[in-house]
Each structure stands twice: as structure tokens, then as C-alpha cells.
Structure 1
Amino acid sequence: MSQRTTTIERLRQPVAGYGLPVRTVVALVAALLGNLAIVNLAISAALAPDLMALSYPPVVFLTTVGVVGAAVVYWLLSTRVDSPTRTFTRLAMGVLVLSFVPDIGILVVDETATAAGVGALVVMHVTAAVACIAFIPSGD
């Protein structure tokens, strides 16, 4: 029986042979490009014009912190578990779901927030998570 390759595995193949620092930079660039495009669209569409979370500086800073944090977690897992890629992927999916909680909180407590603006934040979290899951693990 042949095993089918997933899209994530196909994305990972070109960088899987490089060290964690290179894979982290690739994940960071992918996450930043995606998230900055989303911010640009959100600003252009005036989804939440006064929502500070939908501006370039916090998005760049928080995306960078998130990706570097994910790389540290992967490194720790790679020194402690037998299948770090699988464990990292599952953990990242759980963290992704938890990352939606503050977004929902923003919608509740920040009067400048709109549902569309918070939706853009959620999509940015998914974008960063996909970049981390695709590029940080070596595939082992």
C-alpha cells in the first residue's frame, strides 16, 4: 500500500534537510508574508480601522515571538520525545485553538474591535501555525 504525501509534508521537503535555525527563518518569513498581507487587506478594507492589533508593528512583533517560541518548543521536544514532529504538530494545533480565546476577548472588551477585524486576527493565527507546522519540524 502506498502512503500519500500530505500538503504539509510536501511543503516541508525542500527545507527538511536544513538545521532548525534555517527552518525557523523560513517559517518566520512565510508567517510574516502571510500575516502582513492579511493586515494590508484588513487595513485596505477598513475591517476595524482603530483596532491596534490590526497594524503592522504588533503583527510583526507577535508573529516573530510566536514563531521563535514554536522553534524553541520544537527543539525541546526533539531532545525529549521519540517523534517530535508528530508531537509538535499536535501541540501546535492545541495552541492554535487556545490562541482564539484572546481574539474573542478582544471582540468582547475592545470597542474598536469588529467581528471582521477579529476574524482577520484568527486567520493570522492560522497562517502562523501553518507556517510553523510546515517548516519548523524536520519531518522525523
Structure 2
Amino acid sequence: MSSVSEALPVRRGPLVVAGGVLGAILLSSLANALIAVLAHAVGAPDDFDPLKPAAYIFLTTLGVLGGTVGWVVVRRFSRDPERLLRRLVPSVVVVSFVPDFFQFGAGEVTGVVALLLMHVVVAVIAVLACRRVLPLNSAR
């Protein structure tokens, strides 16, 4: 038997949602900064533009915002948002790798591996934030 709290929809105000999204952007950007520093420490060239803060912070912000919009659409219109997101999130992350693979042509392996890791980290943080501020049990 389910508890009463599971049956009742959870409502989150816009400030809570905005705070969660902003927190995800900040935490993801900090994690990506650490990844960039480590990548440079193990051999990624300093002039590898995607590992510069302006590039990865901008793209991290776009990724979190885009992921959040997708989350909202899925939770609103899907009959089984949990199941759909379980398949959709990894698929979108893999597709997001495609532009990074073109960096291999420049001969940069360490930087590209760092970028791929950044995508995964941003996705994990964004999903955790969305689960907290936009829970799937309140989709309807």
C-alpha cells in the first residue's frame, strides 16, 4: 500500500525550480572547471578552446537549460515519464558527443576525453536537480 505522500502531487514554486536549475548550472560548471584543470595537467594543450571557461560554462548552461526544458515536456506529456527519461537521457548524452568527436581530427585526445566526461557530469547533475525540483510524480 502506498503512503499518502506518494499519492499527492508535489508542487514546486517557480523560485524553487529556478534555484535548482541555477544550482545545477553552477555545480556543473565547477565540476567542468575541475575536469578542464585536470585535462590540462595531463597533457591537453592550453590553446584547446573547448576547455576554456567561456566555452564550457556557456555550453554547460545551454545543456542544463535544454535538458530541463526536455524534462518538463516529458513529465507533462508522457504517460510514463520515468521510463521515457531512462531511455531518452542517455541517448541525448550520446548524441551530444558527436561534435566532440570532430576535435579528434585536430589530434587532441586528452581534451576530447575531458569533453566527453563533461557531458556525462552535466547530465548527471542536471538529472539529480530535476528529480529534486521537478519530481516525476507531480507530472499531472
- State whether TM-score is above 0.5: yes
User: Aligned residue pairs: how many?
Assistant: 122
Structure 2 partner of 1:131: 125
Identify which of 91, 98, 119 aligns with 2:113: 119
2:42 equivalent to 1:45: yes
1:61 aligned residue: 58
| Deviation readout 1:1-45 (Å, 9 max, x if unpaired) | xxxxxxxxxxxxxxx975432332232222112111111222333
Structure 1 gap segments, 5+ residues each? 1-15
The 1-side partners of 2:48 and 2:114 are apart by 11
Cα RMSD after superposing both structures: 2.1
Give secondary structure in 2 for the equivalent of 1:25. Answer: helix
Q: Could you list the runs of 5+ residues in structure 2 that have no partner in the other structure?
A: 1-9
**Which has the higher Rg, Structure 1 or Structure 2?**
2
Provide the TM-score with structure 2 as the length reference.
0.76
In 2, Cα distance between equivalents of 1:28 and 1:89: 21
1:1-140 to 2 correspondences below 5 Å: 18=12, 19-108=16-105, 111=106, 113-137=107-131, 138-140=135-137
TM-score scaled by length of structure 1: 0.76
Amino acid at match of 1:53: P
Using the alignment, how far apart are the partners of 1:85 and 1:20 within structure 2?
19
Q: 1:77 to 1:62 in 2, by over 3 A?
A: same
CA contact under 8 A between 1:24 and 1:68: conserved in structure 2?
yes
Q: Which has the higher helix share?
A: 2
- Whether the 8 Å CA contact 2:100–2:115 is kept in 1: the answer is yes
**Structure 1's 132 and 89: CA in aligned 2 closer, same or farther, altered over 3 A?**
farther
How many percent identity over aligned positions? Answer: 30
Q: For the residues of structure 1 that align with 2:69 and 2:34, how far apart are their CA atoms?
A: 26
